[in-house]
Structure 1
Amino acid sequence: MIRFLDAFGFAWHVTELPSNGVADLPGNLYFFSRGNTLRLRDYPAHWDDLSWRELESLRVRADVLSSDVTRPRPALWRATHLEAMA
């Protein structure tokens, strides 16, 4: 699982899970953030090596599976701080 902050400062957890629990099938990339779950079916094999900006571009392409009507609260750090630490 990878954690990143998007351009708005929201914290996201990203993980790859097999499709329907079958390891031989292409998996899905899931994005989780306080009441929001997104799924992306087509993504790079080495997604876990991507920068936060590249992860953000994947996140915006993902399908919404569930969404809290209230927006997640911004993380304490801005995404730019995360990049500075890399």
Structure 2
Amino acid sequence: MYQLLKRHNVNKVIAVDPHTVFVLKEIYPKYIEDYDIEVKHYLEILSENDETIKKSCKKHLEKEFVIHDSCYMTRELGIIEQARRISASLGITILEPE
């Protein structure tokens, strides 16, 4: 996979699936010498731009949602607050599961 990505001049991967992010970000670098591909989950990208999202949102959604955090996202990747930050910028209240 790494060779395929490099052959196509890929230097950054943005993925939706936390398992893919984990493998490309945490596992591959341990086994591939000089691994140099930046890997991010899409929530990381969105949360880095939460102010832009907030400005572009014409109307707050004023909704409530419960988020189920994936085990890999929270325990392995530390992606916890990003979805909450994005939701808040859209006017969404997050209810934590009990």
Same fold (TM over 0.5): no
With structure 1 as the length reference, what TM-score do the two structures score? 0.22
For CA contacts below 8 A with separation 6 or more, give which structure has more relative contact order: 1
With structure 2 as the length reference, what TM-score do the two structures score? 0.21
Higher strand share: 1
